[in-house]
Structure 1
Amino acid sequence: MSLRLESKVIIVTGGTSGMGAAFAKRAASEGATVLVGARDKERGNATVAAIRGEGGNALFVPTDVTVEEEVAHLVDVAVTEFGGLHGAFNNAGGGNSQGAIRDIDASFWSSVIDLNLTSVFYSLKYEIPAIVASGGGSIVNNASVVGVVGDAGAAAYAAAKHGVVGLTRSAALDAAREGVRVNALVTGLVNTPLWRGVTESNPDIARMIVDKQPTGRAADESEIAGFATFLLSDESPFINGAALAIDGALTAGY
């Protein structure tokens, strides 16, 4: 394994399972000190224990990304405990369908926007100055294929993820001259615990979804983690302000 992130301090939000946990483990294996920010203390400590068990360096910081002060604290811990911040994978998020727009409750709309978009704004607000002060670095925001296409029945989630793409591009322009790159992942179907739950509880629906994938499969979490690691490394210095599809050609058909 290479050490592309050696000596870098990296934050990952939503780092207790799925793509976030996979990235945290991959980043640590490539030399990074990883701060795992999430709400679930038990799973957060388990992720950190797994990293340390493999010889990596990690710390769990309880963080609700919808609370600005907690995001600020997460970044502050990186700076005060480890001397700076060099990158972040803003991965926290999630969404449920509530049907057509006319059926969406305002409280549901706000909760989805807060978790998937406002949280990324908070993260960028505090991460960018810390990374600038540390000499520059890279940020990756996890969007979704519904950040570039629509999805019937999931308007709030699609609006939030479209917002993440726009926010990413604007942040990249804001910070480009200060040595901070900001990119977004347009992720498709990924074999996360959430997806595995769908395959177990609704195998017919899961099979129908997989059949619609050009590659006929879901991505492995490690595939997302590997690409995010590349974007956070010094091997991608001219990739900035991009919404990068990692979706098995799904959006190529739109």
Structure 2
Amino acid sequence: MHMGFSFSGEVALVTGAAAGIGRATALAFAGQGLKVVVSDVDNAGGEASVEMIRQAGGEAVFIPCNVTLDSEVAALMEQIVQCYGRLDYAFNNAGIEIEQGKLADGSESEFDAIMGVNVKGVWLCMKHQIPLLLAQGGGAIVNTASVAGLGAAPKMSIYSASKHAVIGLTKSAAVEYAKKKVRVNAVCPAVIDTDMFRRAYEADPRKAEFAAAMHPVGRIGKVEEIAAAVLYLCSDQAAFTTGQALAIDGGATAI
């Protein structure tokens, strides 16, 4: 899949790369000739993503990491430097799924789990990635937020709050490091056809129909459509783009 983007760096990290949007983006980076570090807590899925990249003629390595643990994220960066000597691009995509209930019905454990991965995980990844990018004279980070980070998400208040937080981290870091040539942006997908989506909707086919109807284009998104946006935001063509939260949502937020 050649999209005509140009990259001045060599090495890309993708977290949450064992499936879905992460796997598709890891494959897309590799298709552009970049060395890809695939990371996830799902070892089997991560190794499968690496194998897919290698079968397509690309170069990749799997490094497991729980993004909620500072020591593991620090170790991930050390291993990347040992393996490839540098880091140029990072797609902080690891996240966990939405809760399904009104705010007053939520549990503390649910709150801690969602915030731990979706917010602390992104913060820890950026905290440890930025010094490596600065050492290379610049680079690009893309974080996975959500359309739920751009407005209300009824029955998903914790998830929505976590994705609003990702956008806050993204914009603040973008401004802090703008003069150091480290760009930070976020993608905000609507409903995308992933394993996570299928788990949420397979029990009720009507929900899947409703999900498609939520988007003015009349369908849910494809993982490759998110991957293309991530590659653009990391590419040299997006050199003037930082601090943005790009909705990729079939028109949903335009209503």
Q: Report the TM-score range of the alignment, normalised by the length of the smaller protein.
A: over 0.9
- The aligned residue for residue 129 of structure 2 is 127
TM-score where L is the length of structure 2: 0.95
The 3 A distance-change label for structure 1 pair 84 and 66 is same
- The residue number in structure 1 matching 2:24 is 22
When residues 198 and 153 of structure 1 are mapped into structure 2, their CA distance, relative to the original with a 3 A threshold, is closer
Question: What's the counterpart of residue 177 of structure 1?
Answer: 179
Amino acid of the structure 1 residue aligned with 2:127: K
Shift of 1:195: 2.0
Structure 1: distance between partners of 2:102 and 2:200: 22
**Residue type matched to 2:232 in 1?**
F
Contact 1:92 1:115 in 2 (8 A): yes
- For the residues of structure 1 that align with 2:70 and 2:83, how far apart are their CA atoms? 20
* Aligned partner of 2:60 among 50, 53, 58: 58
Q: Distance in 1 between matches of 2:117 and 2:85?
A: 28
How far the C-alpha of 1:98 sits from its partner, in A, is 4.7
Q: Over aligned residues, Cα RMSD in angstroms? A: 1.4
CA pair 200-153 structure 1, distance change in 2 beyond 3 A: closer
CA gap 1:153/1:130 in 2 versus in 1, 3 angstroms: same
**1:47-73, CA deviations, whole angstroms, 9 ceiling, x for partnerless residues?**
101101111010000111111111111
Question: What is the alpha-carbon distance in structure 1 between the residues aligned to residue 5 and residue 181 of structure 2?
Answer: 21
For residue 6 of structure 1, report the CA deviation from its aligned partner. Answer: 6.7
Letter in 1 for 2:220: A
Map of 2:94 onto structure 1:
92
1:15-48 Cα distance to aligned partner (Å, 9 max, x none): 0100000000000010111101101111111110
Aligned length: 253
Aligned-pair identity in percent equals: 39
Q: 1:41 aligns with which of 40, 43, 61?
A: 43
Give the AA of the match of 2:51. Answer: A
2:120 pairs with one of 118, 121, 127 = 118
Q: Secondary structure at the match of 1:146?
A: helix
Note the alpha carbon deviations across 1:89-128, whole angstroms, 9 max, x for none. 0001022325222222222111110111110000100001
Question: Which aligned segments of 4 or more residues in structure 1 are displaced greater than 6 angstroms?
Answer: none
1:153 is the counterpart of 2:151: no
Contact 1:7 1:33 in 2 (8 A): no
Counterpart CA distance in 1 for 2:156 and 2:44 is 30
Structure 2 equivalent of residue 221 of structure 1: 223
**SS of equivalent residue, structure 1 residue 171:** helix
What's the offset of the Cα at 1:199? 4.9
SS in 2 for 1:201: coil
Report the Cα offset of residue 201 of structure 1: 2.8
Inter-partner Cα distance in structure 2 for 1:221 and 1:5: 21
Give the conservation status (yes or no) of the 8 Å contact 2:90–2:129: yes
* 1:203 equivalenced with 2:205 (yes/no): yes
1:193 aligns to what? 195
Q: Distance in 1 between matches of 2:199 and 2:108?
A: 28
Partners of 2:188 and 2:245 within 8 A in 1:
yes
Unaligned runs of 5+ in 1: none
Deviation string 1:187-207 (CA, Å, 9 cap, x unpaired) is 111111222344543211111
The answer to whether the Cα contact below 8 Å between 2:9 and 2:139 also exists between their aligned partners in 1 is no
Once the two structures are overlaid, the 10-residue window that deviates more, 224-233 or 101-110, is: 101-110
Aligned to 2:104: 102
Q: CA deviation at 1:5?
A: 3.7
Query: Any unmatched runs of 5+ in structure 2?
Result: none
- In 2, are the aligned partners of 1:5 and 1:31 still within 8 Å (CA)? no
Q: TM-score, normalised by structure 1?
A: 0.96
Taking the aligned partners of 2:218 and 2:58, their CA distance within structure 1 comes to: 35
Residue of structure 2 in register with 1:230 after alignment: 232
